[in-house]
Chains A and B, each alone.
Chain A
């Protein structure tokens, strides 16, 4: 085996191949910075090059590209609170909180060094694991996969916030929203209301952007300060970040292992890895009070897991021809084009190729994270820019990213709709991570439950794998009893001293209640197999919602359920009303439907800079030209579409 690995290195570092790896890495870094595009956009850019390349060079380019996308996605997650890819959602929680404290460069440095470490360690594990990977992967049947989804859901316990009731409802709501569209067991359509768009369910990218990024943008918009409010940019943040990793090396090691293993299980999808890693660090830390407010461990855990995950996801891709994640699907497509056949031969006669791929991935991680580290310091100055100068760019970026999900103008409206939901969830202290975990795992939990009941019946609970994962879930719930992450913990303390008006949060909870009832009525109309999952979830939620209403009615202000950030906030924090950001974005989307996205964004930029930022003629013109050229350039080179108007 050692000689195979050495051979792989020799091939990689040869002059013919190494430049191609670097080319892939650079492309991946640039594309990864734009949230939501991922490897898919990269592939279309790469293909014309691949056409003329030899096997190994083409592979190197492809691997380089795929490997570093979760790395550079970290930039927007930390600096702007925009989840850059499906596997850097959890990074937002503490990463962005650190950026707000002026410690962006520390967070970035810790994130990149963790990525580097995770990617390398993942490759080491894979080097040994690859020989036994086939039988190991086959151990995970539908029953085990169902239990893994439950294990993922158990992480909600540590992320539900101060109010368990609201955490459970948020997660349940996520499960309900995630079950919109075709029922896995029968193909019936649920909660689609005759809208074609909903038949395929709501895309994860849009939910992540709206639930996390949108409320942050709205809040900063209303405060109109820089992201790092008044805080000095910490000196030496860069070295501090690296020292943070060294201090938490065992944590990084565990999370990298976790990432590799979960990544290797086909059908789990990469989107939940970062949450499991995040839940793990919360559960195993004694002092949990800093999480959600800028604990560096909350950055190290998901970041060391998400690069390792890409390595793990290589296993089902190479050995079974079944992509382990979205970017792996693209990678597999690329392999076919190059003429490499994934399958059992990858561990026998093509084993040298497999090792080349694994170690290309590792080296690409080192290169990508290294380059990003280099950029961490200068780029973190972005957090000192006045937000009204940054906001139009961020709104443009999330709209563009959302539109790439299905290339339908409805993408934008879904972004806005769930963005508003996110704003109120944040305001009234509902756990957004709990909602997201529910959403991500809804389809998996339901379809694997359906399959395992049909394949195994009650015998599924006799399977050793199922028992082990079930025990892990129980342990995870047990640990989460000892405290849960709440971004608003301090404000809640403050709120206890005040008398808060109940009506706004009561109305919001009422809307949630109506959604749950809607789901219940819809599920009754379906056949048993098609409707049972949302039905059971809705029924479970009813007592929780009633309990919440009871608390509001009794107006017991000592309960953590009662919370309203708007009322707790100090006088003068918000300079604009809550619907102003919504109105700006809504106006942009209405205009886009009529005259198309590009002209609308031009008008949006000019009006926003002039009115909100008070920029001069020249500055407005330059900023607008810059933004539009960035947009047009990106969509041109990546062959991406922009919303067209009626005209």
Chain B
């Protein structure tokens, strides 16, 4: 009996000792920082050394090693070097549900203090725009710190007998297949593009990543494919040079006024709008508007760095000043094109423009896309 008592005593005493040390340390840590909340965010004075000794958590809703992850990890050390106060940047990967999980995590945990920021991609925008019931993040509650657009190029096999986009009519009566990651992924944009042009393309789902789709193209299993700009430059251009792939069109890029222009990375290649017009269609109406909206969400706003819209402007300025400084750094200029591609990471008004185009889609266009997905893929959304 007494042995049992002494054991209980031992457990209680040690537990109290350890837990009080643990919670005590946590409490000390917590009292060191100012709490910015939705209510007080407007009154708080932000000093220039606000980020000094702070650790910023950059949430990436994708797994390690992918495009979104690389983007964040490439930028992180430059942020530390160039943002006033030299904050430590930690990239936290929370993959799952095609990036819904990590973005939800951000929505549930973020405060308007710049200490947690979210990097989203076209993949994150798609389920939001299609009203996926799992989505708890709302772009209306955020504002952009930085935006990074990209582009994409559609190409096909020379066995189809065409030389370029000029011969696109040759494709219209052919039955083609396309290696896709899934009906609600970023692949919506190329698949919808094929449909608008009147091409007969059957999507084969289950591919993991665009790389797997490219491999299927190289094996001859599919005759048409698309890659984002940097993957196209690295892995498809060599095929084009050997005559094993024919570039058709790019998805284009958005200029400062939000107009569709030729992709500056591929100035010789027509953009989708040109090809669409060449078949006699007008660049207006619900079909075109829907295409434009989803292209902007998928490619124009390929990567967005976000913070809650209540975040004090001074905090966003600290970020953006740092980013401007980063873009002038020698090492950044040397390595950026190889690591990220040709496009500019933008801040300020251009970033806001891209953010609006990528995340604010009219109800009509959403509905049109949902109906199209339902009919085309028998999808229940």
Q: CB of A395 within 8 A of chain B?
A: no
* Distance A342 CA – B92 CA, assembled complex (angstroms): 25
* Distance A185 CA – B203 CA, assembled complex (angstroms): 10
Question: What mask results when residues 67 to 98 of chain B are scored 1 for a CB within 8 Å of chain A, else 0?
Answer: 00110011011000000000000111111110
Verify A339–B19 contact, CB threshold 8 A: no
Verify B205–A185 contact, CB threshold 8 A: yes
Verify A342–B234 contact, CB threshold 8 A: yes
User: Smallest CB-CB separation from B204: which chain A residue?
Assistant: A454
Verify A321–B235 contact, CB threshold 8 A: yes
Verify A607–B235 contact, CB threshold 8 A: no
Question: What mask results when residues 378 to 406 of chain A are scored 1 for a CB within 8 Å of chain B, else 0?
Answer: 00000000000000000000000000001
On chain A, the residues within 8 Å of B22 by CB distance are 598-599, 602, 628
* Most chain B beta-carbon contacts within 10 A, residue among A450, A451, A624: A451
Q: How many residues of A contact B (CB 8 A)?
A: 65
Q: CB of A44 within 8 A of chain B?
A: yes
9-residue interface stretch from A235-243, A322-330, A580-588: A322-330
Q: How far is the CB of A190 from chain B (nearest CB, A)?
A: 14
Verify A447–B234 contact, CB threshold 8 A: no
Q: How far is the CB of B38 from chain A (nearest CB, A)?
A: 21
Q: How far is the CB of A442 from chain B (nearest CB, A)?
A: 13
Verify B234–A142 contact, CB threshold 8 A: no
Give the size category of B's interface with A.
35 or more
* Distance A325 CA – B207 CA, assembled complex (angstroms): 15
On chain A, the residues within 8 Å of B77 by CB distance are 47-48, 51
Residues 391-430 of A contacting B (Cβ, < 8 Å):
406-408
Which of A199, A322, A621 is B134 in contact with, Cβ under 8 Å?
A199
Q: How far is the CB of B97 from chain A (nearest CB, A)?
A: 5
On chain B, the residues within 8 Å of A48 by CB distance are 77
Q: CB of B327 within 8 A of chain A?
A: no
Verify A455–B10 contact, CB threshold 8 A: no
Q: How far is the CB of B110 from chain A (nearest CB, A)?
A: 15
Verify B221–A455 contact, CB threshold 8 A: yes
Verify A602–B18 contact, CB threshold 8 A: yes
9-residue interface stretch from B45-53, B58-66, B146-154, B270-278: B58-66
Verify B65–A320 contact, CB threshold 8 A: no
* Distance A555 CA – B11 CA, assembled complex (angstroms): 49
Q: CB of A138 within 8 A of chain B?
A: yes
Given known A142-B221, A200-B96, contact A333–B378 (CB-CB < 8 A): no
Verify B219–A200 contact, CB threshold 8 A: no
* Distance A407 CA – B59 CA, assembled complex (angstroms): 13
Q: CB of B14 within 8 A of chain A?
A: yes
* Most chain A beta-carbon contacts within 10 A, residue among B96, B134, B214: B96
9-residue interface stretch from B157-165, B177-185, B192-200, B358-366: B177-185
Question: What mask results when residues 326 to 368 of chain A are scored 1 for a CB within 8 Å of chain B, else 0?
Answer: 0001111110110111111100000000000000000000000
On chain B, the residues within 8 Å of A141 by CB distance are 216, 219, 221
Question: What mask results when residues 88 to 125 of chain B are scored 1 for a CB within 8 Å of chain A, else 0?
Answer: 00111111110001000000000000000000000000
Residues 1-33 of B contacting A (Cβ, < 8 Å):
7, 10-11, 13-15, 17-19, 22-23
Q: CB of B264 within 8 A of chain A?
A: no
Q: How far is the CB of A526 from chain B (nearest CB, A)?
A: 11
On chain B, the residues within 8 Å of A606 by CB distance are 10-11, 14-15, 18
Verify A266–B215 contact, CB threshold 8 A: yes
Verify B97–A196 contact, CB threshold 8 A: yes
Verify A455–B66 contact, CB threshold 8 A: no
* Distance A455 CA – B215 CA, assembled complex (angstroms): 14
Residues 223-279 of B contacting A (Cβ, < 8 Å):
231, 234-235, 238-239
On chain A, the residues within 8 Å of B207 by CB distance are 451
Q: CB of A15 within 8 A of chain B?
A: no
Given known A321-B231, A603-B15, A641-B92, contact A341–B338 (CB-CB < 8 A): yes
Q: CB of A472 within 8 A of chain B?
A: no
Question: What mask results when residues 354 to 381 of chain B are scored 1 for a CB within 8 Å of chain A, else 0?
Answer: 0000000000000000000000011100
Which of A43, A187, A322, A340 is B379 in contact with, Cβ under 8 Å?
A187
Q: How far is the CB of A524 from chain B (nearest CB, A)?
A: 16
Q: How far is the CB of A329 from chain B (nearest CB, A)?
A: 3
User: Smallest CB-CB separation from B239: which chain A residue?
Assistant: A344
Verify B218–A610 contact, CB threshold 8 A: no
Verify A196–B215 contact, CB threshold 8 A: no
Q: CB of B166 within 8 A of chain A?
A: no
Verify B65–A447 contact, CB threshold 8 A: no
Verify B205–A186 contact, CB threshold 8 A: yes
* Distance A321 CA – B219 CA, assembled complex (angstroms): 15
Q: How far is the CB of A464 from chain B (nearest CB, A)?
A: 14
On chain B, the residues within 8 Å of A408 by CB distance are 101
Verify B235–A527 contact, CB threshold 8 A: no
Q: CB of B283 within 8 A of chain A?
A: no
Verify B235–A343 contact, CB threshold 8 A: yes
Q: CB of A290 within 8 A of chain B?
A: no
* Distance A329 CA – B212 CA, assembled complex (angstroms): 13
Which of A40, A329, A343 is B238 in contact with, Cβ under 8 Å?
A343
* Distance A330 CA – B22 CA, assembled complex (angstroms): 34
User: Smallest CB-CB separation from B222: which chain A residue?
Assistant: A455
Verify B10–A620 contact, CB threshold 8 A: yes
Verify A330–B205 contact, CB threshold 8 A: no
Verify A620–B92 contact, CB threshold 8 A: no
* Distance A621 CA – B184 CA, assembled complex (angstroms): 53
Verify B94–A320 contact, CB threshold 8 A: no
Q: CB of B211 within 8 A of chain A?
A: yes
Residues 291-339 of B contacting A (Cβ, < 8 Å):
335, 338-339
* Distance A607 CA – B7 CA, assembled complex (angstroms): 9
Question: What mask results when residues 502 to 537 of chain A are scored 1 for a CB within 8 Å of chain B, else 0?
Answer: 000000000000000000000000010000000000
Given known A40-B64, A610-B10, A620-B10, contact A322–B205 (CB-CB < 8 A): no
* Distance A187 CA – B379 CA, assembled complex (angstroms): 9
On chain B, the residues within 8 Å of A454 by CB distance are 177, 202, 204
Q: How far is the CB of B123 from chain A (nearest CB, A)?
A: 14
Q: CB of B206 within 8 A of chain A?
A: yes
Q: CB of A193 within 8 A of chain B?
A: no
* Distance A325 CA – B348 CA, assembled complex (angstroms): 39
Q: CB of B349 within 8 A of chain A?
A: no
* Distance A142 CA – B76 CA, assembled complex (angstroms): 38
Verify B378–A527 contact, CB threshold 8 A: yes
On chain A, the residues within 8 Å of B63 by CB distance are 40, 329
Q: How far is the CB of B124 from chain A (nearest CB, A)?
A: 15
Q: CB of A560 within 8 A of chain B?
A: no
* Distance A266 CA – B11 CA, assembled complex (angstroms): 53
Which of A323, A333, A602 is B15 in contact with, Cβ under 8 Å?
A602
On chain B, the residues within 8 Å of A142 by CB distance are 216, 221
Q: CB of A483 within 8 A of chain B?
A: no
Q: CB of A182 within 8 A of chain B?
A: yes
Question: What mask results when residues 187 to 207 of chain A are scored 1 for a CB within 8 Å of chain B, else 0?
Answer: 100000000100110000000
Given known A200-B96, A337-B74, A342-B234, contact A599–B19 (CB-CB < 8 A): yes
User: Smallest CB-CB separation from B336: which chain A residue?
Assistant: A339
* Distance A81 CA – B372 CA, assembled complex (angstroms): 52
Q: How far is the CB of A497 from chain B (nearest CB, A)?
A: 42
Verify B94–A407 contact, CB threshold 8 A: yes
User: Smallest CB-CB separation from B337: which chain A residue?
Assistant: A339
Given known A138-B218, A454-B177, contact A339–B339 (CB-CB < 8 A): yes
Verify B234–A330 contact, CB threshold 8 A: no
* B residues in contact (CB < 8 Å) with A: 7, 10-11, 13-15, 17-19, 22-23, 63-66, 69-70, 73-74, 76-77, 90-97, 101, 134, 177, 179, 182-184, 202, 204-209, 211-212, 214-216, 218-219, 221-222, 231, 234-235, 238-239, 335, 338-339, 377-379
**10 A-B pairs with least C-beta separation:** A184-B206, A329-B65, A333-B65, A447-B206, A322-B211, A339-B338, A51-B77, A343-B234, A344-B238, A40-B64
Could you show 14 A-B contacts with beta carbons less than 8 Å apart?
A138-B219, A142-B221, A182-B182, A199-B97, A199-B134, A200-B96, A267-B212, A321-B231, A344-B238, A454-B202, A606-B10, A606-B14, A606-B18, A610-B10
Given contacts A320-B211, A606-B15, 6 further A-B contacts (CB under 8 A): A196-B97, A322-B214, A336-B338, A343-B238, A454-B202, A602-B18
